[in-house]
């Protein structure tokens, strides 16, 4: 499937992250582990902007969303000063697990595809817990159909 442009019609949350000097190797290409930092940043922005539940509030209230699964496919390189669009969609919402897919692109060229899962965790008990109903309702706006999901 060609994701360029088409994903913008899907129920995805989109945020832009600029490739900075600290993201690139000496050749000026994004060093792949930095993509994972940017994925974490995009997810954090989604919680804050789309779900109105910023991480500082989440942590203060005793919750966290650690990564449980992550798989990626690199399609094209990214360079210093590229403006990367991270388009996040939900593939499944479980009791405590949130499965997502992210299409990372620049100027309608796919750079990087990711499937990931985070788990809603009670920090005091260090155990998974049910996602609160109000938060779940906000997440449902970003649920993708099977046809809208990505394959790596």
pLDDT in tens, the chain (152 residues): 455 555 555 679 999 999 999 999 999 999 999 999 999 999 999 999 999 999 999 999 999 999 999 999 999 999 999 999 999 999 999 999 999 999 999 998 999 999 999 999 999 999 999 999 999 999 999 999 887 888 87
Domain boundaries, the chain: 6-145
| Per-residue CA distances from 2 to 7, 9, 70, 113 (Å) | 9, 13, 22, 12
How far is 11 from 87, CA to CA, in rounded Å?
9
How far is 90 from 100, CA to CA, in rounded Å?
4
pLDDT at 1: 46
Phi/psi region, residue 62 (left: phi>0; alpha: psi -120 to 50; beta: rest), is left
From the candidate CATH numbers 1.10.3720.10, 3.90.79.10, 3.40.640.10, 3.10.129.10, the one assigned to the domain spanning 6-145 = 3.10.129.10
How far is 4 from 1, CA to CA, in rounded Å?
9
pLDDT at 28: 92
pLDDT at 10: 62
pTM of this structure: 0.90
């Amino acid at each position: 499937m060609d994701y360029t442009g088409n994903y913008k019609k899907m129920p995805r949350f989109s945020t832009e992250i600029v490739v900075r000097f600290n993201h690139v190797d000496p050749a000026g290409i994004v060093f792949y582990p930095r993509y994972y930092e940017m994925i974490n940043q995009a997810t954090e922005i989604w919680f804050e902007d789309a779900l109105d539940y910023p991480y500082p509030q989440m942590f203060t209230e005793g919750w966290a969303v650690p990564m449980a699964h992550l798989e990626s496919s690199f399609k094209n390189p990214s360079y210093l000063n590229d403006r990367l669009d991270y388009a996040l969609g939900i593939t499944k919402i479980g009791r405590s697990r949130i499965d997502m897919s992210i299409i990372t692109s620049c100027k309608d060229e796919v750079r990087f595809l990711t499937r990931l899962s985070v788990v809603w965790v009670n920090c005091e008990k260090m155990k998974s817990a049910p996602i609160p109903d109000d938060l779940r309702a906000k997440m449902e706006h970003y649920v993708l159909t099977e046809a809208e999901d990505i394959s790596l």
